[in-house]
A and B are shown apart, each in its own frame.
Chain A
Amino acid sequence: SQQGEEDPQALSIQEGENATMNCSYKTSINNLQWYRQNSGRGLVHLILIRSNEREKHSGRLRVTLDTSKKSSSLLITASRAADTASYFCATVGSGNTGKLIFGQGTTLQVKP
């Protein structure tokens, strides 16, 4: 079953703008991860944030986590056309084997 919802479902921006995607989840988590999927390809792991962390950075990516609201956001700064892809959040529940439960994803289009 799906863990939660991502918002928006689709996002279209111009190159150089920032892109923000949001993710909500339902159960308590050990960590939350963001993945990227280019059309018709496998997923690539972008960043992981643990339940005791509030913010994490990796290059042009910034992830926040609010466990009280059961939500996370992914910010991509200074977007490029190559950032065009679908982005998924996924959670690892506390106490399980580490299996990931994915959201529905946000499709990002960056126009050159």
Chain B
Amino acid sequence: SQTIHQWPATLVQPVGSPLSLECTVEGTSNPNLYWYRQAAGRGLQLLFYSVGIGQISSEVPQNLSASRPQDRQFILSSKKLLLSDSGFYLCAWNPQGKYGYTFGSGTRLTVV
């Protein structure tokens, strides 16, 4: 069966520290992968999406970057966190050519 794993569940980081959030998908190949951010009580903002290894599209200019080193691995990074990077980060995937996303359980990031 297809599953998506996202970790860690919660993270508290000081301003200026680096960030690495990881997302992996199992049970499928060549998925589309997405990183979203959700501010408290708000909708989801698409940050990055990837249609294949090494192919990253950025939706919003920001302090973050994404990488896809393997087919089913998607990483969200920052070299130096800002207070405004706090939020709930969600990874999602869908099969190529099909609609309907499957979301991970999310990472609650608090930058202090």
Contacts and interface: CB of A to CB of B under 8 A. Distances in A.
A and B form one complex: yes
Interface string B67-98: 00000000000000000000010101010011
A56 interface: no
Interface in A62-104: 88, 90, 92, 97-104
The contact size tier of chain B is: 20 to 34
A48 interface: yes
Contact of B46 (A40, A42, A99, A104): A99
B100 A45 contact: yes
Classify the interface of chain A: helix, strand, loop or mixed.
Answer: strand
With a 10 A CB-CB cut-off, give which of A42, A45, A101, A102 has the most chain B CB atoms.
A42
Interface in A1-39: 1-2, 30-31, 33, 35
B106 A98 contact: no
B103 interface: yes
Contacts of B43: 2, 88, 102-105
